[in-house]
């Protein structure tokens, strides 16, 4: 838990800040929402007040028209003729532009109707509106609301008033054209009018718009349209419109909230005076009505929106930069900076992906490298070596198929991840690659020889891509196989030997400190003198846990490869000198001892210093230590070895050439080398085939050696027969199981003291170390 917090503390703080900001924004939005309700209420109150004002203005106007009608009725009381009545009524309308132009009267005497010129209205042939006819007989002073005037084909508002005491006229009716209620409009506050979206003067009976008092630019509403239909379209709410319909039918006054495109609006309904049949319906955008409040809210809303946007941007920015950084970290080291090809890191990442993507496909990891790459670097320079690698990168990159990949590892090594049907086809493909590299590089005079190690992936026993590469490399570098074969398939025992080697390398230093490397002595027998000639010191690695001795073959090749052999050679040599020195000091029997010197040991710059100083330290007599150099060392660099042997001779060492006949056998070596002894390899006497030819060679080698005054020692003599034969051809010394096996130090001491168990050997007496 603690670890989790420590690892993610930055993320947690960042998320915390984001959440906190979001909470604050949510709270602010909620508060603003409430404030928006308050704003709506406020603007509705304003709308209500304004509607009241408008309605009052309308009613005042209607009242004045009714007053005009009533006073006209009083004027016509005194009229004596139809003309006089008509004239009075016409005069009443004159100069009343304040109430609207186009006003006119008609009057009734009983059921007979006359127009404003005193002519019979029925003569005009137009029917009178039923409401007018009904009101004419009622004897009431009343507004009739909208009536249809067929003579002018217009809707008009009609007012009627009874005329008393005149037998020629009973009722006067004032007709007021709707579209000319100019003065009513003028009475309205123009500023407030402009706050509305539209303000319509409507008929309560059906909701038809009698006149548009105001329309904002956004609204295109025809003057004779139905206001309810329009509102239905605008608000999209049947409920709201039904409520409006009920309100106008009851001549009520109300402010009904509505939402248009998510914005808050108010619909104001103002009923005209009773019976007028008129109402005013207005649509108000609350934000326009209560501008300051909404502006304030908008500022805050915009600020919150900007804040939110910044927050989101910031969060996205952080997430993106983090991702990019993670990607960069992830990508770091996935491309070789010089060759611009994938590295092992990328390879190891890609291999599992490809394996899971192509489930049914067989894949192999191939490790390849240039043989003698160091030689190219040394002779042609680093630039040329780099060119070779670039060239290989190009070849590998171009020949890859879909689902394959490759990487540069190090030291001219590449890893290829290839799919294949069967091993022979894969080998063919690699042969093609090899030829391509060889031929093309040939043109550039590099002669690239590639070596391939192939690990065929076993899906049943999955291993990590790193291990796959390791195994392919193990196969490539396996020297036990024929070096002429450039294509080596990984075998399970490679891994075992690799593990064994690793185990040995881990233990070797400690083993040296723990004195686990023991010296064994194998006595040599001098055929001519019939006495012990000396002994060869041979190393054994003692395993205290198992109480066994490991033979040198199991660890020496590795020590030669890793350089540890030098330490071991010196250790054995030191032990030998110590043994001889101590026994000599106590005047005990000793014999000359041969010590093996590996190729690596000779090449050490302080080789001579060390060997000479130890000899001096233990006061070893001259000619008592023989150093054995293998034939291969002599062959590789006989000049160097010659100068070394010269110095060794000067310091009282004898020199021997070991394993003669194993590879480079050349009589020339014998002639040019300044050696005291030649040790013939066991194969001279062990091989059954071609016996005559071998004998011939052996005899001539002994002959040459004798001429050169070298002592001839035959190794691996296992039978009396061999010994007798060797004696017959002039061999001086034999070493082998027939005489004695290599003996542990105590056994060897016993051997020196008594001779061997069979009594075949000569006594070691008289071999006291010369003082
Ligand atoms: P080598 O120098 O040729 O040593 C002779 C080998 O022949 C020894 O094997 C010995 O045990 C074996 N041998 C002796 N007589 C017979 C015989 O009659 N029949 C058979 N079949 N083998 C016989 P070993 O002790 O296993 O040593 C193997 C090699 O390891 C040596 O070959 C030598 O090259 C190397 N070696 C041993 N000790 C050292 C050392 O201290 N330093 C270095 N540099 N090499 C050593
Ligand atoms: Ca030897
Ligand atoms: Ca040998």
**Measuring CA to CA, which residue among 537, 519, 586, 572 is closest to residue 746?**
519
Torsion sign (Cα): 129, 130, 134, 137: positive
Nearest alpha carbon, ligand 1 atom 14: 736
Residue 767 pLDDT = 41
**Measuring CA to CA, which residue among 152, 151, 165, 140 is closest to residue 66?**
140
Q: At what angle do helices 82-93 and 2-75 cross, to 10 degrees?
A: 150
Residue 361 pLDDT = 94
Give the residue carrying structure tokens 């007496």: 765
Do 122 and 114 touch, CB atoms closer than 8 A? no
Cα 596–chain centre separation = 58
Ligand 3 centroid – CA 208 distance (Å) = 128
Residue 4 pLDDT = 76
Residue 559 pLDDT = 94
Q: Which atom of ligand 1 is nearest to the CA of 538?
A: 38
Q: How far is Cα 409 from Cα 115, in angstroms, rounded to an integer?
A: 115
Q: What global pTM score does this model have?
A: 0.51
Other residues' Cβ atoms within 10 Å of the Cβ of residue 565: 23
Which H or E run contains 237? none
Residue 224 pLDDT = 76
Nearest alpha carbon, ligand 1 atom 31: 538
Q: What angle do CA 209, 214, 219 make, to 5 degrees?
A: 80
Nearest alpha carbon, ligand 1 atom 34: 596
Nearest alpha carbon, ligand 1 atom 43: 596
* Burial (0-12, 13-18, 19+ Cβ within 10 Å), 454: buried
**Ligand 1 pocket residue status of 657, Cβ below 6 Å:** no
Sheet holding 254-260, edge to edge: 209-215, 196-203, 278-285, 263-271, 254-260
Residue 743 pLDDT = 97
* Ligand positioned closest to the Cα atom of 523: 1
**Measuring CA to CA, which residue among 175, 173, 220, 221 is closest to residue 201?**
221
Q: What angle do CA 60, 61, 67 make, to 5 degrees?
A: 85
Give the residue carrying structure tokens 């002894």: 677
143-180 core/surface letters (b: 16 or more CB in 10 A; e: else): bbbbbbbeeeebbbbbbbbbbeebebbbbbbbbbbbeb
Residue 187 pLDDT = 64
**Ligand 1 pocket residue status of 235, Cβ below 6 Å:** no
Residue 514 pLDDT = 95
What is residue 744's three-state secondary structure?
strand
Q: What angle do CA 439, 444, 445 make, to 5 degrees?
A: 85
Ligand 3 centroid – CA 658 distance (Å) = 5
Q: How far is Cα 270 from Cα 272, in angstroms, rounded to an integer?
A: 7
Ligand 1 centroid – CA 39 distance (Å) = 108
> Residue 525 pairs with which residues in a beta bridge?
532, 734
Residue 185 pLDDT = 62
**Measuring CA to CA, which residue among 538, 569, 554 is closest to residue 747?**
538
- 180 secondary structure, DSSP code: G
- 119 secondary structure, DSSP code: -
- 178 secondary structure, DSSP code: G
10-residue block means of pLDDT along the chain (771 residues)? 74 83 88 86 87 82 89 91 91 80 89 90 88 86 87 87 91 84 63 83 84 83 85 90 88 88 89 77 88 84 88 86 76 82 91 94 95 84 89 92 93 94 93 87 72 94 93 85 75 82 91 97 92 96 94 92 95 97 93 95 95 97 95 81 95 94 69 90 71 80 89 94 92 95 96 64 41 38
Q: How far is Cα 519 from Cα 578, in angstroms, rounded to an integer?
A: 11
Query: Parallel, antiparallel, or unpaired: how do β-strands 531-543 and 593-597 relate?
Result: parallel
Q: How far is Cα 587 from Cα 417, in angstroms, rounded to an integer?
A: 69
> Residue 658 pairs with which residues in a beta bridge?
630
Structure tokens at 519: 């010296």
Residues 6+ apart with CB under 8 A from 216: 196, 197, 198
Q: How far is Cα 110 from Cα 168, in angstroms, rounded to an integer?
A: 9
Residue 677 pLDDT = 95
Backbone angles phi and psi of 248, in degrees to 5: -70, -35
**Measuring CA to CA, which residue among 752, 759, 755 is closest to residue 588?**
752
Cα 545–chain centre separation = 51
* Burial (0-12, 13-18, 19+ Cβ within 10 Å), 328: exposed
* Ligand positioned closest to the Cα atom of 679: 3
Q: How far is Cα 267 from Cα 258, in angstroms, rounded to an integer?
A: 7
> Residue 112 pairs with which residues in a beta bridge?
109
Give the residue carrying structure tokens 């080596």: 488
**Ligand 1 pocket residue status of 718, Cβ below 6 Å:** yes
**Ligand 1 pocket residue status of 716, Cβ below 6 Å:** yes
């Amino acid at each position: 838990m603690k670890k989790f917090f420590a690892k993610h503390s930055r993320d947690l703080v960042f998320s915390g800040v984001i959440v906190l900001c979001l909470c604050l924004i949510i709270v602010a939005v909620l508060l603003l929402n409430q404030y928006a309700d308050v704003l709506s209420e406020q603007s509705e109150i304003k709308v209500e007040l304004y509607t009241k004002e408008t309605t009052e203005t309308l009613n005042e106007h209607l009242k004045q028209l009714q007053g005009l009608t009533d006073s006209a009725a009083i004027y016509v009381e005194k009229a004596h003729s139809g003309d006089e009545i008509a004239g009075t009524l016409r005069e009443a309308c004159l100069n009343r532009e304040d109430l609207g132009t186009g006003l006119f009267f008609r009057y009734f005497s009983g059921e007979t109707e006359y127009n404003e010129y005193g002519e019979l209205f029925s003569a005009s042939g137009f029917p009178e509106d039923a409401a007018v006819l009904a009101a004419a007989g009622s004897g009431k002073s009343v507004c009739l609301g909208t009536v249809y005037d067929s003579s002018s084909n217009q809707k008009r508002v009609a007012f009627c008033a009874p005329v008393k005491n005149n037998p020629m006229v009973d009722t006067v009716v004032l007709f007021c054209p709707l579209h000319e209620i100019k003065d009513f409009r003028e009475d309205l506050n123009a500023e407030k009018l402009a706050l509305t979206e539209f303000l319509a003067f409507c008929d309560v009976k059906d909701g038809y718009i009698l006149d548009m008092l105001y329309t904002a630019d956004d609204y295109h509403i025809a003057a004779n349209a139905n206001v309810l239909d329009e509102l239905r379209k605008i608000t999209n709410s049947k409920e709201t419109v039904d409520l409006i319909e009920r309100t106008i039918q009851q001549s009520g006054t109300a402010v009904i909230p509505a939402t248009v495109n998510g914005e808050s609006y108010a619909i104001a309904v103002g009923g005209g005076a009773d019976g007028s049949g008129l109402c005013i319906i207005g649509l108000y955008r609350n934000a326009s009505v209560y501008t300051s409040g909404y502006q304030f809210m908008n500022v805050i809303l915009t600020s919150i929106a900007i804040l939110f946007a910044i927050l989101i941007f910031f969060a996205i920015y952080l997430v993106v930069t983090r991702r990019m950084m993670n990607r960069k970290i992830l990508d770091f080291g996935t491309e070789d900076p010089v060759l611009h090809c994938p590295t092992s890191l990328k390879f190891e990442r890609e291999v599992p992906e490809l394996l899971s993507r192509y489930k049914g496909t067989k894949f192999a990891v191939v490790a390849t490298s240039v043989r003698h790459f160091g030689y190219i670097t040394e002779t042609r320079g680093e630039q040329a070596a780099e060119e070779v690698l670039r060239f290989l990168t190009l070849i590998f990159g171009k020949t890859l198929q879909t689902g394959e990949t490759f990487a540069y590892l190090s030291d001219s090594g590449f890893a290829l991840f290839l799919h294949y049907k069967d091993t022979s086809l894969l080998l063919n493909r690699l042969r093609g690659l090899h030829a391509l590299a060889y031929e093309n590089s040939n043109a550039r005079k590099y002669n690239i020889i590639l070596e391939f190690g192939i690990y065929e992936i076993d899906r049943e026993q999955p291993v990590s891509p790193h291990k796959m590469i390791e195994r392919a490399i193990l196969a490539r570098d396996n020297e036990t196989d024929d070096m002429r074969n450039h294509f080596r398939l990984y075998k399970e025992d490679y891994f075992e030997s690799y593990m064994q080697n690793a185990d040995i390398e881990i233990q070797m230093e400690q083993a040296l400190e723990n004195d686990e490397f023991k010296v064994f002595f194998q006595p040599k027998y001098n055929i001519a003198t019939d006495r012990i000639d000396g002994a060869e010191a041979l190393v054994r690695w003692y395993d205290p846990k198992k109480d066994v001795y490991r033979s040198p073959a199991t660890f020496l090749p590795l020590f030669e490869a890793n350089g540890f052999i030098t330490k071991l050679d010196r250790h054995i040599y030191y032990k030998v000198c110590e043994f001889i020195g101590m026994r000599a000091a106590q005047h005990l029997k000793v014999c000359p001892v041969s010590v093996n010197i590996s190729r690596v040991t000779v090449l050490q710059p302080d080789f001579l210093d060390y060997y000479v100083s130890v000899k001096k330290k233990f006061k070893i007599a001259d000619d008592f230590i023989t150093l054995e150099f293998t034939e291969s060392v002599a062959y590789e660099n006989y000049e160097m070895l010659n100068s070394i042997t010269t110095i060794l001779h000067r310091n009282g060492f004898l020199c021997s050439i070991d394993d003669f006949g194993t590879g480079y056998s050349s009589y020339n070596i014998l002639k040019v080398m300044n050696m005291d002894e030649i040790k013939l390899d066991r194969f001279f006497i062990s091989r059954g085939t071609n016996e005559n030819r071998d004998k011939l060679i052996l005899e001539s080698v002994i002959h040459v050696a004798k001429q050169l005054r070298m002592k001839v020692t035959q190794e691996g003599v296992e039978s009396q027969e061999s010994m007798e034969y060797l004696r017959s051809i002039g061999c001086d010394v034999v070493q082998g199981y027939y005489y004695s096996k290599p003996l542990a130090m105590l056994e060897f001491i016993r051997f020196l003291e008594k001779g061997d168990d069979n009594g075949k050997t000569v006594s070691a007496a008289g071999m006291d170390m010369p003082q």
